[in-house]
């Protein structure tokens, strides 16, 4: 049985203007898998997550969590999921302990179970020492981890996290990644949304790219990186004409004096590096990144 499954999911918002937020998204997430939805702002990631987490009704299509229909069995779905919404904030008067403890109690745990669960979750996100401090006195990252701990304490089977690391510093972000991977190793399923490419690449077992409400790619980070024919990037600092390259080439992205040249294989990349060295132009070679592929696929500046 799949942990999360959606078939042809559509969502249209009707307000002042009609917005098609999802246009037939079909996704399957296996158990004990960390699946990431990658997309630009407004791509439809949050809408998808809100439908799957029973907060929002779809316009059309089917979705299920652990075999329970999201539309007709929301109560069953809710017993198995925990959600961290996007841009979530905290109440200044609440402490991390109160968040984790009360939310565990609302899951139907006994006081003893809730205390144990809250303690475990707060230790996992390294907030145990700050558990009795009001959130008003915590840093942005600590507040975020407080909310994540309240989801962790739920002991749910499927976690749906909407950009959980946005606004966190690099250290805090990596701490959250470690927690997420540990959860997956313990058998939990995680559906994550992010627009941090490094995050998607580092933590995901599989990912899907959503663009303007449609899914345009799905696979492991490596599979996604093979969706374009370019495999390497050469960062050249200086005039490309010296290397015999045209700046309006669609394999080149320009950022001021820096240029990223995408090439199909290592030989071409090394040839370019050789030319650069001869001309005294600074150049560096690296494998293509997920971000490069993402930008190419969603039609950013590379096109």
Nearer to another protein, 156 or 172 (CB): 156
Q: Order of strands across the sheet with 60-65?
A: 18-29, 4-14, 60-65, 68-69
**Interaction residues for another protein, span 44-73 (CB under 8 A):** 50, 53-57
Structure tokens at 152: 């962790």
- Number of residues that make up the chain: 303
At closest approach, how far in Å is the CB of 126 from another protein? 21
Least distance CB 164 / another protein (angstroms): 13
CB contact at 8 A, 30 and 188: no
- Interaction between residue 286 and another protein (CB under 8 A): no
Residue closer to another protein (CB basis): 98 or 201: 98
Q: Cα separations (Å) of 37 from 25, 101, 241?
A: 11, 30, 39
Task: Pick the closer one to another protein by CB: 93 or 186.
Answer: 93
In the complex, what is the shortest distance from the CB of residue 35 to another protein, in angstroms, rounded to a whole number? 17
* DSSP 8-class letter at 295: H
| Binding of residue 142 to another protein (CB under 8 A) | no
The least distance separating another protein from the CB of residue 256, rounded to whole angstroms, comes to 39
Q: How far apart are CA 124 and CA 203, in angstroms?
A: 17
**Least distance to another protein, CB of residue 95, Å:** 7
Interface residue with another protein among 74, 195, 196, 205 (CB under 8 A) is 74
CB of 117 to another protein, least distance (A): 14
Distance CA 256, CA 266 (A): 25
Applying CB under 8 A, does 150 fall inside the site for another protein? yes
The backbone torsions φ and ψ at residue 239, rounded to the nearest 5 degrees and listed phi first, read: -75, 125
Of 48 and 294, the one with the shorter C-beta distance to another protein is 48
Task: For residue 220, give the nearest of 240, 238, 200 by alpha carbon.
Answer: 200
Q: Tell me whether residue 158 or residue 298 sits nearer to another protein (CB atom).
A: 158
Q: Which is nearer to another protein, 180 or 302 (CB)?
A: 180
Q: Which of 126, 178, 132, 124 is nearest to 153 (CA)?
A: 124
Question: What DSSP element (H or E) covers 194?
Answer: strand 189-194
Binding mask 107-136 for another protein (x = CB under 8 A): xx-------------------------x--
Q: Interface residues for another protein in 78-107 (CB under 8 A)?
A: 78-79, 81-91, 93-95, 98, 102-103, 105-107
CA distance 47 to 45: 5
Task: Determine how many CB atoms are found less than 10 A away from the CB of residue 116.
Answer: 15
167 belongs to the binding site for another protein (CB under 8 A): no
Smaller CB separation from another protein, 7 or 57: 57
In angstroms, give the least distance from the CB of 56 to another protein. 5
Number of CB atoms found within 10 A of residue 284's CB: 11
* Interaction between residue 204 and another protein (CB under 8 A): no
**What's the distance, CA 60 to chain centroid?**
24
Tokens (6 digits) for 287: 């494998």
Q: Which chain residues interact with another protein by CB under 8 A? A: 50, 53-57, 74-75, 78-79, 81-91, 93-95, 98, 102-103, 105-108, 134, 147, 150-151, 154, 160
């Amino acid at each position: 049985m799949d942990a999360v499954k959606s078939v042809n999911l559509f969502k249209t918002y009707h307000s002042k203007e009609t917005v098609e937020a999802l246009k037939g998204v079909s996704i399957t997430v296996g158990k004990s898998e960390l699946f990431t939805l990658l997309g630009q702002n407004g791509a439809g990631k949050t809408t998808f997550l809100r439908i799957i987490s029973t907060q929002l009704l779809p316009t059309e299509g089917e979705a299920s969590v652990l075999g329970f229909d999201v539309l007709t069995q929301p109560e069953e779905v809710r017993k198995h999921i925990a959600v961290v919404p996007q841009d979530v904030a905290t109440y200044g008067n609440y402490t991390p302990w109160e968040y984790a403890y009360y939310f565990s109690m609302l899951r139907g745990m006994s006081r003893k179970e809730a205390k144990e669960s809250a303690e475990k979750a707060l230790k996992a996100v390294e907030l145990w020492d700050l558990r009795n401090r009001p959130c008003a006195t915590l840093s942005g990252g600590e507040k975020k981890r407080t909310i994540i701990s309240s989801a962790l304490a739920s002991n749910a089977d499927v976690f749906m996290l909407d950009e959980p690391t946005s606004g966190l510093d690099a250290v805090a972000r990596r701490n959250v990644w470690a927690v997420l991977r540990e959860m997956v190793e313990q058998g939990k399923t995680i559906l994550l949304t992010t627009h941090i490419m490094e995050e998607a690449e580092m933590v995901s077992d599989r990912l899907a790219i959503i663009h303007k409400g449609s899914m345009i790619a799905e696979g492991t980070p490596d599979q996604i990186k093979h969706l374009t024919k370019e495999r390497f990037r050469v960062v050249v600092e200086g005039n490309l004409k010296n290397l015999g390259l045209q700046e309006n080439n669609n394999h080149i992205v320009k950022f001021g004096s820096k240029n990223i040249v995408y090439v199909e294989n290592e030989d071409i990349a090394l040839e370019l590096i050789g030319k650069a060295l001869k001309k005294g132009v600074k150049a560096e070679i690296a494998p293509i990144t997920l971000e490069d592929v993402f930008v190419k696929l969603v039609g950013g500046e590379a096109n």
